[in-house]
Amino acid sequence: MRARAVGVVGVGNMGLAMALRLLELGNEVRVRDVEPAREALAVGAGGHAAATPVELAVRCDAVIVAVVDAAQTEAVLFGSDGVAAAASGACLVLCPTIAPDSVASFTTRLDALGRDWIEAPMSGGPARARAGSMSLLVACRDDVFERHAALLAALADPVFRLGQRAGDGARAKLVNNLLAAINLAGAAEALALAERVGLDPARMLDVIERSSGQSWIGSDRMRRAVAGDLAPRAHTTLLAKDSALALAMAAGTGVVPQLGSVAAATFAAAIDAGHGADDDASLLAFLRDRFRSAG
């Protein structure tokens, strides 16, 4: 990829990982975050901080939006100092996991302003984002994809090209994350049961990982949980949000995913129990407590 000027608005776990990846590849990277400490991490690696999203956008030919939800995305795009107000033609790469209808609404407004956009929700976590090996679920016009294919390839492997319809990235991401929630809730419940019947959870996880119960998200999260490592890479609130969005998407088609509903309810209960700011591996601790309270 040729060196280019790229902005990243939202340098949380995923946004910072992408910024560091792009800096490592020799790009000029500008960042904006509401937390100065997050900006400082990127600046310390050679990035530049911007005072506002629009200030960032005028200096970049692509801007990655890596905030959490639809409200934050709207503020970054269309707020009083939002990137859509920039005179430059920076392509806007929309990475948050939000509802398909929200994506369609935002991209319709961007089209009216003559702004290029790429819908590109992410999957894989911060370590893979830092290595350029996460997944991107991409929807955009063909000509926009071709112009920015090198940037997408620098950020992710694989890049899944889903077509041109706005919202298809969100649809695919929500289906994936509903399954992730089901897998993680199932893995946490299984390990909590293993402990309840007197099995060593680490040894049981060895068995599961080489047997039919294995799942990537179960192994990744439960290894951390068994070690007592709940430092947040992905907060419990995120899969709670995503599973709720997936259920709302399903309801719009007249169906109620039964397993997804149980998983979403489990995440919501874990948040109510105080685990929202923990890594979502904390689901094991939550289910341990639930089993203990059962007597």
Burial class (CB in 10 A: 0-12, 13-18, 19+), 49: middle
Please, how many CA atoms are within 13 Å of residue 208, restricted to the half-sphere of its CB? 25
Cβ neighbours, 10 Å, residue 30: 24
Separation CA 97–CA 169 (nearest Å): 9
**Catalytic residue (one of 21, 173, 221, 233):** 173
168-196 and 258-270 helices cross at what angle (nearest 10)?
70
Q: Is 173 considered catalytic here?
A: yes
Are residues 181 and 267 in contact, defined by beta-carbon separation less than 8 angstroms? Answer: yes
Separation CA 287–CA 272 (nearest Å): 13
Where in the sequence numbering do the catalytic residues fall?
A: 173
